[in-house]
Amino acid sequence: MLTGKTILLGVTGGIAVYKSADLVSRLRKENANVEVVMTEGAKEFITPLTFQTMSNNMVHHKMFNEITSYDVEHISLAKKADMIVIAPATANTIGKIANGIADNLLTTVVMASKAKVLIAPAMNTVMYDNYMTQENMKKLKGLGYEFINPGSGLLACGDIGRGKMAEPVDIVEYIKSSFVKKDLKGKNITITAGPTIESLDPVRYITNHSSGKTGYYLAKNAVDRGAQVNLISGPTNLTPPKDVNFVEVKTTQDMFDAVGDYFDKTDVLIKSAAPSDFRPEKSSELKIKKQKDIKKMTIDYVENPDIVAYYGSKKKNQIIVGFAAETNDLYENANKKIKSKNLDFIVANDITQEGAGFQVETNIITIIDNMGNKESYPKISKEEVAIEILNKVKNML
């Protein structure tokens, strides 16, 4: 996701430098080119060789190196950076940048660059809450510098409070979102995700194999692209993306009602959930016990509301996207759904194909619109599926 991007990682002297090594690894896995600049204080905690090995680049730390090329180091680094990330950022480094002090390679590069700067503070709670630190951060925010807030917990000094450097996984997500074009800004998008469950008794229920991954990727990418997102989800093992309006539901009726709460203000409804089409006619208040003489059990089911069909019939200017997970007659079944549910387009996939369907990280999809146009994709990740769906939505908007 960061292919072709150069991230200049500034590492300053704090115990949280161990997280910076993980951060380099994660950025490399996203295909970013990582250049590391260390302060002298950082070298007291970890060696440049560690970052050199992990980044596959020479580590920069000396302000006055012997000139081996016609590039002035701090200027060439400043020019090549698509983004500067300082993690961990000590109170000392934050103060220097806020007050225009450039007395080491890192602060000099920051002053010489026009790239976006992201700062991940890491320090003792008292230092973080200190008036001067807060004023320095306030000043930098006013100048356009961005901060990812520290976490709270047990610090290396033994204190408990704010000051833990943000986790590398969160910093990487922040960096990735920074490079996403905000082409859905001002749009309200409602996304349903995951399965629903229908109780048989207090212990048992019926459900399906939906993991919710595509819906959660849709929500994450839509937020990154500037949309206001309502994520209505059945039970999953996933963590909701930051900055979404998360609504947790259980039954199909719950999901139907939740969609109704947001539908009138929604520009786009993406119905990626796999709700149960039927529910038990009666749910036992007590656990159904096994009985010796009974070898079979019959359960009567009744139909659940068809969420996408109902709101498809109510739509005015909304774009509605449906899904068709099929085992046979893929295009025939998908086209029927487009017409019967009044969809703008549908995402169809054959779940019998290897690498498609539920509980995997990839899918093989065909997008079919209400004019009969279709575009098929090879096996791609579910995150890429989400991006392609939102690209189609953007084009329709």
Q: What local confidence, expressed as pLDDT, does residue 78 receive? A: 78
Specify the pLDDT at position 73: 53
Kindly report, residue by residue over 384-394, the tens digit of the pLDDT: 999 999 999 99
Q: Which of 316, 275, 282, 276 is nearest to 297 (CA)?
A: 282
Q: What is the pLDDT of residue 71?
A: 53
Which residues are within 8 A (CB) of 293 and not within 5 positions of it... i.e. 6 or more apart?
none
Position with higher pLDDT, 298 vs 42: 42
| Span 359-388, average pLDDT | 94
Q: Which residues pair with 6 in a beta bridge?
A: 33
Pairwise CA distance, residues 213 & 374, whole Å: 23
The DSSP line for 287-355 is: PPPP-TT-------EEEPP-HHHHHHHH-SS-EEEEEEEESS-HHHHHHHHHHHTT-SEEEEEETTSTT
pLDDT of residue 358: 87
* Banded model confidence at residue 229, pLDDT cuts 50, 70, 90: very high
pLDDT of residue 364 exceeding 60: yes
Nearest C-alpha neighbor of 23 from the set 175, 152, 149, 147: 175
Which among 75, 132, 157, 203 is annotated as catalytic? 157
The per-residue pLDDT for 154 is 73
Cα–Cα distance for residue pair 222/390, rounded to 1 Å:
7
Give 296's contacts (C-beta < 8 A, 6+ positions apart).
Answer: none
How many Cα neighbours within 13 Å face the side chain of 38? 23
Residue-wise DSSP of 122-162: ---HHHHHSHHHHHHHHHHHHTT-EE---EEEE-TTS-EEE
- pLDDT at site 70: 42
Q: What percent of the chain has pLDDT over 70?
A: 97
Q: What is the mean pLDDT of the chain?
A: 92
347 pLDDT higher than 50: yes
* Dist CA 129 CA 43 (whole Å): 26
Q: Is the dihedral of CA 8, 13, 14, 15 positive or negative?
A: positive
CB 210 within 8 A of CB 288: no
Helix (H, G, I), strand (E, B) or coil at 77: helix
The CA-to-CA distance between both ends of the chain, in Å, stands at 24
Per-residue pLDDT averaged across 310-330, rounded? 95
Asked if residues 104 and 63 have their Cβ atoms less than 8 Å apart, the reply is yes
**Which residue is associated with the tokens 């010489």?**
112
CB 258 within 8 A of CB 266: no
Asked if pLDDT for residue 64 goes beyond 70, the answer is no
With 50 as the cut, is the pLDDT of residue 67 above it? no
Residues with Cβ within 8 Å of 334's Cβ and at least 6 positions away in sequence, in order, are 324, 326, 346, 348, 366, 368
Taking the whole predicted model, whether its pTM rises above 0.85 is answered as no
Q: Answer whether residue 348 shows pLDDT above 80.
A: yes
> At a CB cut-off of 8 Å and minimum separation 6, what does 188 contact?
227, 228, 230, 262, 265, 266, 267, 268
**20 catalytically annotated:** no
Q: How far apart are CA 318 and CA 311, in angstroms?
A: 10
Comparing 60-69, 79-88, 138-147, the range with the smallest average pLDDT is 60-69
H or E element that contains 73: helix 73-80
Pairing of strands 268-271, 319-326: parallel
pLDDT digits (tens, 9 = 90+) for 128-166: 999 999 999 999 999 999 999 998 887 776 777 788 999
What gap in Å lies between CA 214 and CA 384, rounded to an integer?
A: 9
Locus of tokens 């560690």: 50
DSSP element (H, E) containing 362: strand 362-363
Please, what is the angle between helix 168-178 and helix 213-224, to 10°?
60
Q: How many CA atoms lie within 13 A of 329 on its CB side?
A: 5
pLDDT in tens, 160-217: 778 899 999 999 999 998 998 999 999 999 999 999 999 999 999 999 999 999 999 9
Buried b (16+ CB within 10 A) or exposed e, 296-323: eeeeeeeebebbbbebbeeeeebbbbbb
- What is the strand order of the sheet 83-89 is part of? 33-38, 6-11, 83-89, 116-121, 146-147
Model confidence band, residue 74 (pLDDT cutoffs 50, 70, 90): low
Percent of the chain with pLDDT over 90: 84
Cα–Cα distance for residue pair 153/132, rounded to 1 Å: 22
Q: What is the mean pLDDT of residues 326-351?
A: 95
